[in-house]
Amino acid sequence: MDTSRGTLVTGEIYHIYSKSIAEFVIFNNDVEYSRMKETMLYYQTERQHVNFAKFIETEVKQEAGGEKLVDIICYCPMPTHLHLTLKQLKDKGISNFMRHVLESYTHYFNTKHNRKGPLWENRFRRVLVKTDEQLLHLTRYIHLNPATAYLVNKPEEWAYSSYMEYLSSDKPKICAYSEVLDIKPVSYKIFVEDRVSYQRDLAKIKSLILD
């Protein structure tokens, strides 16, 4: 179960955070980061028209068919944790999506590394995003995570987040942010990479940060 109280409300947007047990590194290379992205895309839908094995073999990744549980607004996997912003489209959509994603990745990771036992500290933590301004600042916080952790110098150097989806119309997208955010790539890039403003505005989303 998620570790926050109360029912997740259909139609609302949440910051979702999952952390590995004892800060265990759960993403070690390009293949593992890609696997999480494929897993998220696949389990967005309630009933898949193709099985996962066949899905991951296709060169062009598209939704696997069926009714969507969630919209992914933005995402950023890090070596020991996963940040998501999700809009719930069906009752229990986020809970079901996260259960499938985390269990599927655990099975994959444990098989690959000849490991047993749980991988995640808990299923997930969450907090409601209440305003459009909070949502915009939250996407920046999530996209800046790799740079803030000194994994890269600039957020665009982190190939595993949704940041480049926000900056390039040619980039294949799994995020559905256009209906909730008016993103203009040039101004958004300035907004994200303005470190001074980021630090000042961090207080606006302090209650949304789940580290």
Instruction: Domains for the chain: give ranges and CATH numbers.
Output: 13-205 (3.30.70.1290)
pLDDT at 187: 95
State the maximum Cα–Cα separation within the chain, in Å, rounded to a whole number. 47
139-183 pLDDT per residue, tens: 999 999 898 888 998 899 999 999 999 998 776 679 999 989 999
> What stretches of 88-209 show up as alpha helix (H) in DSSP?
93-112, 132-148, 163-167, 185-193, 195-201
Produce one character per residue of 129-154: b if its CB has 16 or more CB atoms within 10 Å, e if not: beeeebbbbbbbbbbbbbbeeeeeee
Q: Which of 13, 65, 59, 70 is nearest to 34 (CA)?
A: 59
* Residue-wise pLDDT tens digits, 59-72: 544 555 578 999 99
84: which strand partners?
16, 75
